[in-house]
Amino acid sequence: MKTLVWVEHDNASVKDATLAAVTAASQLGEVHLIVAGAGCAAVADEAAKIAGVGKVHLADNAAYKDALAENVAPLIVDLMGHHDAFVAPATSNGKNIAPRVAALLDVMQVSDILSLEGPKTFTRPTYAGNAIATVESSDAKLVITVRGTAFAKAETSGGSGTVEAVSGAGDAGLSSFVGAEIAKSERPELTSAKVIVSGGRALKDGPTFEATIFPLADKLGAAVGASRAAVDAGYVPNDYQVGQTGKIVAPEVYIAIGISGAIQHLAGMKDSKTIIAINKDEDAPIFQVADIGLVGDLFNVVPELTSKL
């Protein structure tokens, strides 16, 4: 089976999310990649070195720079003429583009897969991760998005793919990119961090969140996450949000501070290897999933913890 994998990139380098999708795709068969962007030849060269990669299709055109689904989907549909499956990481780009591709091919997408059980059989989470469904596709071609934390990352070296330019139709004339506000952070990226320190509504406000959570995260070299309550209250931007509607993470250690543990939040982090909870309410649901719990006032406990590390 020939599989086409969407390469997530910023027109400069390959994003980590791609690597888990390559691992999933390699379980289906021959792996080809699509790099769509503008001035992104370096990305294609980098992508060709990913272990197990065959052909890299490079579509270099100003129309593909911002990964607008209206422009990118027809390009992928063209390439699907000689591929059997399209695989994208379940990033915001993957989730935006893949269903558009699926509908154009008249196939049902399998979203956010956790594993491959057979050539056309997959497991995926439903009901905020409270039920795992095993589904079998009856479509001629597969369109799949992959949960990044469920697959190991492919090696970024050792591959010897060949880069081949493809043209595509370019600008569909339906949409244009206006601008972006990207949150800057010196810390590790949330979805790939080994340790995450996450704060909830109990942090009171933005400055308190920063003063309490950031120093601990920096001591541990950790990424910072947040519950939806903390994001909605404006303590931190929404790209910090961990949960069903935010990012899905599975770090080695997840430290939940002042987070009660609503099912929406648990859906985003309960595959973490070790969960540590600090909460003053000993009945908080987070303690039912935490490996290590400490009942106490976070405003005393967290600064003490930071100073003792």
Partner 1 sequence: MKIIVPVKRVIDYNVKPRVKADGTGVDLANVKMSMNPFDEIAVEEAIRLKEKGVATEIVAVSVGPQKAQETLRTALAMGADRAILVQTDDEVEPLAVAKILKAIADEEQPGLVVLGKQAIDDDSNQTGQMLAALMGRPQGTFASKVEVEGDSVSVTREVDGGLETVKLALPAIVTTDLRLNEPRYASLPNIMKAKSKPLATKSPADYGVDTAPRLKTLKVSEPPVRSAGIKVADVDALVAKLKELGVA
Residue numbers 235-274 binding partner 1 by CB under 8 A: 237-239, 244-245, 247, 252-253, 263-264, 270, 274
Q: Which of 16, 78, 139, 210 binds partner 1 (CB under 8 A)?
A: 139
Q: Which is nearer to partner 1, 4 or 97 (CB)?
A: 97
The CB-of-158 to partner 1 minimum distance in angstroms stands at: 27
Q: Which of 127, 165, 207, 281 binds partner 1 (CB under 8 A)?
A: 127
Token digits of residue 176: 């244009």
Nearest alpha-carbon partner for 104 in 169, 59, 36, 23: 169
Q: Which is nearer to partner 1, 48 or 149 (CB)?
A: 149
Token digits of residue 81: 């003429």
Q: Which of 100, 200, 203, 213 binds partner 1 (CB under 8 A)?
A: 100
Q: Which of 104, 116, 166, 233 binds partner 1 (CB under 8 A)?
A: 104
Regarding 91 and contact with partner 1 (CB under 8 A), the answer is: yes
Regarding 233 and contact with partner 1 (CB under 8 A), the answer is: no
Q: Which is nearer to partner 1, 48 or 249 (CB)?
A: 249
Q: Which of 205, 281, 291, 297 binds partner 1 (CB under 8 A)?
A: 291
Regarding 13 and contact with partner 1 (CB under 8 A), the answer is: no
Regarding 116 and contact with partner 1 (CB under 8 A), the answer is: no
The CB-of-260 to partner 1 minimum distance in angstroms stands at: 13
Residue numbers 50-79 binding partner 1 by CB under 8 A: 66, 68-70, 73
Regarding 195 and contact with partner 1 (CB under 8 A), the answer is: yes
Token digits of residue 44: 């294609």
Measured distance CA(189)–CA(26) in Å, rounded:
25
Cα 29 from chain centroid (whole Å)? 23
- How many residues touch partner 1 under the rule CB under 8 A: the total is 90
Regarding 160 and contact with partner 1 (CB under 8 A), the answer is: no
The CB-of-259 to partner 1 minimum distance in angstroms stands at: 15
Which of these ranges, 26-34, 47-55, 120-128, 149-157, lies near partner 1 under the rule CB under 8 A?
120-128
Assess contact for 233 and 195: CB atoms under 8 A.
Answer: no
Region of residue 43 (left: phi > 0; alpha: psi -120 to 50; beta: else): alpha
The CB-of-306 to partner 1 minimum distance in angstroms stands at: 10
For 45, 141, 143, 270, the CA distances from 83, given in Å and listed in that order, are: 21, 8, 11, 35
Which of these ranges, 21-29, 41-49, 56-64, 104-112, lies near partner 1 under the rule CB under 8 A?
104-112
Neighbours of 256 (CB within 10 A): 30
Assess contact for 44 and 58: CB atoms under 8 A.
Answer: yes
Nearest alpha-carbon partner for 270 in 172, 125, 74: 125
Measured distance CA(5)–CA(89) in Å, rounded:
8
Strands 121-126 and 115-118: antiparallel
Q: In degrees, to the nearest 5, what angle opens at C-alpha 22 toward C-alphas 51 and 24? A: 125
Measured distance CA(263)–CA(152) in Å, rounded:
26
